[in-house]
């Protein structure tokens, strides 16, 4: 089994995990194509699939969009119809002083216009004559229109527009947060592959050195080799043992680091003992990360999450600027309400109405003008940041593309160098078998080959990381 449950005492999660793995990977009996599951190799593409689907930080990034949806819902609540009831009654020493009922139903509209229907009823011995109503009460139906502030744009309109933009901003932020998790997970996978390859390298050459040591012992017993060759071969064996022990420690730590990114549902999992990384990662990595299309047009970055994030922030700041500019207008609200006895509501009488005008304006408008100037400064500041971000992204992409091409060339050189060192070692071993070489020369050739292989592994790791950095720069985790 490629993964085992870390929380062994949690049997419920264990059985859920086993059931999930069975449903996901076991061959089905319903005629569908069975999904193959390699119990010995965890491919990089499969690993990223686990991280994208189950890692808590990736799922947490999805909350950015959910939160933006909640913000939009709250903003739209500013246009919800509203029922208001105000009932006030006083009774003392058997006397009903007053009984006042004011109820209304308001419907806010987009351009600040408000439609209102109401019912008022007054009773008692002591109340304000202005509140007097017919015995059946008084119905009203009216409209309120802002002629200055609030007609073109108001806080409710601005909140809804910002809420819609926050959805776009939330999606961009989600991608940026998710791409960081995927990049860190990729680094952990590459460290694991490097540690695994180095450990396998030292394991193999420890076997070669041990075999050579036993062969030298037999030659010494036959008198065909000097005693010093056994000392030379023994030193090599102990060096390889030390190298293998250190590589095994690095591999253990790399596997534990990788386990930080392995989850299924809410259950953390870790690698099995015999699981190895993908062998042909050099060939499959560019396609997995979609970095094989090196002819990326760096001048077309409008779809990049950072650019979209800044452009969305600019749009939000522009809405705020419009709102601040609207505050320079005077407050002028006009309201008209048709009033009628409920029993005669169908008999429209134009002379029965309530009419009101509210008007106010600051003389110097210093607060409003200052707020508008600050809004413009924030827009200009964000525009500068947007321009700089475009340039930085273009240069980062070009730099990563150049680095990847350079590492490909370096890899071709080191591959040829490793092959040459292997040829030299093979030739030296043949000379030794003819008695024309020494153990010192064989060890020297082998050390050169091991160092070349370590350099090859290092360049491959740089190539992997460089592709992952380009993947992070492009910021397209989906």
Mean of pLDDT values over 90-115: 88
Give the residue with greater pLDDT, 323 vs 35.
Answer: 323
pLDDT digits (tens, 9 = 90+) for 158-192: 889 999 999 888 889 988 999 999 999 999 999 99
Residue 297: pLDDT band with limits 50, 70, 90:
low
Q: Rounded mean pLDDT of the chain?
A: 84
Q: Which residue has the tokens 């006895």?
A: 341
**Confidence class for position 296, pLDDT limits 50, 70, 90:** low
CA 276 distance to own-chain centroid = 28
Find out whether 58 and 178 touch, Cβ atoms under 8 Å: yes
What confidence tier does 299 reach under pLDDT thresholds 50, 70, 90? low
> What pLDDT score was predicted for residue 222?
77
Mean pLDDT of 81-94: 89
More confident site: 409 or 215: 409
Give me the residues paired with residue 103 across strands. Answer: 85, 119
Cα angle 61, 66, 72 (rounded to 5 degrees) comes to 135
239-264 pLDDT, tens digit each: 999 999 999 999 999 999 998 998 88
d(CA 83, CA 107): 9
First-to-last alpha carbon distance for the chain, in angstroms, is 28
* pLDDT of 25 above 80: no
CA 138 to chain centre: 58
Q: Say if pTM beats, i.e. exceeds, 0.85.
A: no
How sure is the predictor about 406, in pLDDT bands with cuts at 50, 70 and 90? Answer: very high
Q: Does residue 462 register a pLDDT over 90?
A: yes
User: What is the distance between the alpha carbons of residues 287 and 274, in angstroms, rounded to a whole number?
Assistant: 26
pLDDT digits (tens, 9 = 90+) for 363-403: 898 998 999 999 999 999 999 999 999 999 989 988 998 99
pLDDT tens across 70-84, in order? 888 888 888 889 999
- Is the CB of residue 192 less than 8 Å from the CB of residue 257? yes
Find all residues with CB under 8 Å of 337, minimum gap 6, and list them.
116, 118, 140, 141, 142, 143, 353, 354, 355
Q: Is the pLDDT of residue 15 over 50?
A: no
% of the chain exceeding 90 in pLDDT: 38
Is it the case that residue 274 has pLDDT exceeding 80?
yes
pLDDT of residue 233: 83
Select the more confidently predicted residue: 40 or 427. 427
Residue-wise pLDDT tens digits, 49-64: 889 888 888 888 888 8
- The Cα–Cα gap between 243 and 87 comes to 87
């Amino acid at each position: 089994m490629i993964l085992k449950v870390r929380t062994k005492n949690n049997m419920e999660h264990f059985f859920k995990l086993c059931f999930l793995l069975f449903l996901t990977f076991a061959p089905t009996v319903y005629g569908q194509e069975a999904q193959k599951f390699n119990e010995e190799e965890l491919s990089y593409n499969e690993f990223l699939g686990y991280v994208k689907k189950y890692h808590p930080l990736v799922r947490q990034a999805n909350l950015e969009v959910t939160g933006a949806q909640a913000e939009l819902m709250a903003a739209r609540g500013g246009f919800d119809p509203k029922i208001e009831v105000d009932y006030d009654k006083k009774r003392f020493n058997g006397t009903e002083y007053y009984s006042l009922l004011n109820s209304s139903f308001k419907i806010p509209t987009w351009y600040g216009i408000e439609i209102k229907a109401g019912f008022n009823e007054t009773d008692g011995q002591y109340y304000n004559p202005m509140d007097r109503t017919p015995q059946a009460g008084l119905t009203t139906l009216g409209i309120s229109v802002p002629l200055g502030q609030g007609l073109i744009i108001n806080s409710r309109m601005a909140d809804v527009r910002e809420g819609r933009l926050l959805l776009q901003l939330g999606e961009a932020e989600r991608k940026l947060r998710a791409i960081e998790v995927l990049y860190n997970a990729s680094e952990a996978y590459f460290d694991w592959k490097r540690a695994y390859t180095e450990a396998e390298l030292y394991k193999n050459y420890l076997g070669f050195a041990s075999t050579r040591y036993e062969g030298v012992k037999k030659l010494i017993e036959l008198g065909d080799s000097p005693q010093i060759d056994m000392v030379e071969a023994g030193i090599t064996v102990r060096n390889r043992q030390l190298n293998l022990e250190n590589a095994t420690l690095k591999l253990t730590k790399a596997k534990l680091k990788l386990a930080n990114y392995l989850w299924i549902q809410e259950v953390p999992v870790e690698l099995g003992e015999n699981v190895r990384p993908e062998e042909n990662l050099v060939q499959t990595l560019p396609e997995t990360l979609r970095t094989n299309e090196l002819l990326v047009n760096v001048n077309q970055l409008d779809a990049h999450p950072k650019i979209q994030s800044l452009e969305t922030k600019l749009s939000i700041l522009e809405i705020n600027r419009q709102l601040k500019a609207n505050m320079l207008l005077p407050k002028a609200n006009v309201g008209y309400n048709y009033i009628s006895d409920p029993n005669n509501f169908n008999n429209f009488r134009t002379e029965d109405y309530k009419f009101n005008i509210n008007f106010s304006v600051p003389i110097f408008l210093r607060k409003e003008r200052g707020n508008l100037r600050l809004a413009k400064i924030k827009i200009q500041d964000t525009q500068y940041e947007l321009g700089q971000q475009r340039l930085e992204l273009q240069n980062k992409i070009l730099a990563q593309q150049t680095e990847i091409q350079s590492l490909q060339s370096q890899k071709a050189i080191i591959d040829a160098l490793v092959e040459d060192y292997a040829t030299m070692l093979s030739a030296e071993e043949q000379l030794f078998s003819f008695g024309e070489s020494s153990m010192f020369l064989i060890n020297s050739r082998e050390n050169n080959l091991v160092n070349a292989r370590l350099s090859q592994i290092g360049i491959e790791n740089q190539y992997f990381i460089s592709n992952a950095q380009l993947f992070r720069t492009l910021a397209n985790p989906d």
